[in-house]
Amino acid sequence: MGKLIGYVGNDHLEKMLEEDILALDGINIAFGVVREGKVFWEAEKRLAALKRIKEIKPEIKILLSVGGWGAGGFSDAAITEEGRKKFAESAKSLVIKAGLDGIDLDWEYPTVPAAGIDARPEDKETFTLLLQEIRDALDTIESDEHLLLTIAAGAGEYYIEGTEIEKVAAILDYVQIMTYDQASAYITFTGHHTNLYNYAKSKASAKTYIDNFIEAGVPREKIVMGAAFYSRKWDGVVDANNGYRQEADTIGDFGPDYGELAKNYINKNGYVRHWDDDAKAPYLFNGESYISYDDEESIGHKIDYLKAEGLYGIMYWEHKCDTTHTLTRMMAEKLKG
């Protein structure tokens, strides 16, 4: 049975429903950040919420995810041995203080100056060294259970090229590939942002990205694929072919979260749900606006795929986006079935 992991925001930990906690195998807390070379996280504010979660499901794995989109400080911290030790020791201290089950590193992305974050060519090697330093620090903690070290990895080839991914995978317990945002805020042409398979002329798909990571040396049993609880939306779309693969006036920016889609968009208020059986992905169109998203059907196909391929599991971004509380529980049941 594959594992189910959810990214949960700091302020949402205390709001998690018992049924959702019971459905999950792991929680990645979003986020801790890097300040002056150390991992910073207000652990004392979260202790009560963490205690409650563990009381409900003692075996659940709770990791602090460090970084996220727009979070910097990694390259500077990793460039020296002293900096790497400082970073790792600060992460170790937080694991001990909060009784965490490990660290999830979300450095977006080594060697790539995305979102204005500092990057340098040396990141390719120092990323590996930083992860090894964290692994070594975690191994010095007295614990009855193995403490986890994981990463969130960009899905494109740029991530593989910018890291020593085979060496990295050997250090990690698993690699979470962010198989979403495939058609997104960079193009004015509608498509799918979290599709499982290739479609039309597009070669961007979860399967393609996962195959690339396996070919680069990541064991399939250490791979976690991603699902999206949010959408991408294009406006001013040409009213042809139900808006599919059409030019738009806007880029595919963030659209409504799944809870809002279920309430006001899916086959409501002029929006009609369509299904692309090649991509195994749904989309909405109202004659002007096109929305790409994940739902129970598309995620179900992803879980069938990960089972067939022997992957470690599936994760999603982000827990608060599903106010219907249906997707997490559906995923858990599908993984068990």
Our answer to whether residue 14 is catalytic in this structure is no
- Distance between CA atoms of residues 129 and 122, nearest Å: 11
Query: ∠144-50-4 over CA atoms, to 5°?
Result: 75
Q: How far apart are CA 65 and CA 75, in angstroms?
A: 17
One-letter identity of residue 163:
T
CB neighbour burial string for 43-59, b if at least 16 within 10 angstroms, e if fewer: beebeebbeebeeebee
Task: Give the pairing type, strands 38-40 and 26-35.
Answer: antiparallel
205: left (phi over 0), alpha (psi -120 to 50) or beta: beta
In whole angstroms, how large is the CA radius of gyration of the chain? Answer: 20
- 3-state SS class at 135: helix
- Quickly count: other Cβ atoms within 10 Å of residue 188's Cβ: 14
- CA–CA gap between residue 103 and residue 91 (Å, rounded): 7
Task: State the CB neighbour count (10 A cutoff) for residue 125.
Answer: 16
Token pair listed for 94: 């937080």
Give, in degrees to the nearest 5, the angle at Cα 7 between 62 and 49: 50
Among 209, 206, 197, which Cα is nearest to 280's? 197
Burial of 170 (C-beta count, 10 Å sphere; 0-12/13-18/19+): middle
Q: Which of 44, 55, 82, 108 is catalytic?
A: 108
Query: Measured in Å, how far apart are the chain's first and last C-alpha atoms?
Result: 9
Whether omega before 189 lies within 30 degrees of 0, making that bond cis, reads no
If one counts every other C-beta atom within 10 angstroms of the C-beta of residue 131, the result is 26
Annotated catalytic residues are: 108
